Chain A
Amino acid sequence: QQQVKQSPQSLIVQKGGISIINCAYENTAFDYFPWYQQFPGKGPALLIAIRPDVSEKKEGRFTISFNKSAKQFSLHIMDSQPGDSATYFCAARTGYSTLTFGKGTMLLVSP
C-alpha cells in the first residue's frame, strides 16, 4: 500500500515535444506529491509538487496533473529541451512521514 508505481522506465522525446511521466499510488492517505529531477552525478532536486486539493499545477513548462479518484498523477514537460534530459522521480507521503519514491524515469530529449 506504500508503493508508488512509476512509468515508463525510460522515455525518448524529440526536442519540442511533450514528455509525459505517470505515477499511481494505493495509499489514499497520501497528501503531498512531489516530482524530482536528477542529473547524472547530482542529487535529486525538487522540481514541482502538488497537494490533492487541486487537479493541476503549472510552473513554466512543467505541469502536474492529479486525478484523486484514479489515484494517479503525472508530470508533463511541454516543449521538451535537450537540457531536460535527466531522471525524474515521483514521490508521495502523508503529513510527517518519509517520502515513498517511484523507481524513476530516464528521459532523453533528442536534438
Chain B
Amino acid sequence: SQTIHQWPATLVQPVGSPLSLECTVEGTSNPNLYWYRQAAGRGLQLLFYSVGIGQISSEVPQNLSASRPQDRQFILSSKKLLLSDSGFYLCAWRDSGNSPLHFGNGTRLTVT
C-alpha cells in the first residue's frame, strides 16, 4: 500500500534562517506531488505541485521554492524565512490520472 512521509513534524526557526522540508511517497511511481500551506484556522493554500521529476508549478509567488530531485521525493525550501512563513505545511500525492488526493501529517513551522 502507498504511504507518505513528512518530516520534521514540528520546527521552530528564526527569521532569516533557511528551510528544508522533505516529503517522500512509497508504494507508487510517478505520483503527482503537492505542497499546501494552512494558516491557523484557515483553509488550504496550494503552493506548488509537480507531475514529474524536475517539473514544478508554482501557484503563489512567495519566499518559498520546491524541488523534486527524485520520483517520489518533494522538497520545500526557503533561503531566508519570514515571520509570515509560519504555518502548517502539508505534502500530498495522487497517482497520475483521475485519482484521490492523499495528505501527509504535516509540519508545523513556527518562525520566531
Contacts and interface: CB of A to CB of B under 8 A. Distances in A.
Contacts of B34: 98
Q: Is the interface of A mostly helix, strand, loop or mixed?
A: loop
B104 A99 contact: no
Give the contact-size bracket for chain B: 20 to 34
A101 interface: yes
Give the contact-size bracket for chain A: 20 to 34
B43 A104 contact: yes
Interface in B74-101: 90, 92, 96-98, 100-101
Given A32-B98, A89-B44, A103-B42, A98 B106 contact: no
Interface of B: 6, 34, 41-44, 46, 49, 59, 90, 92, 96-98, 100-106, 108
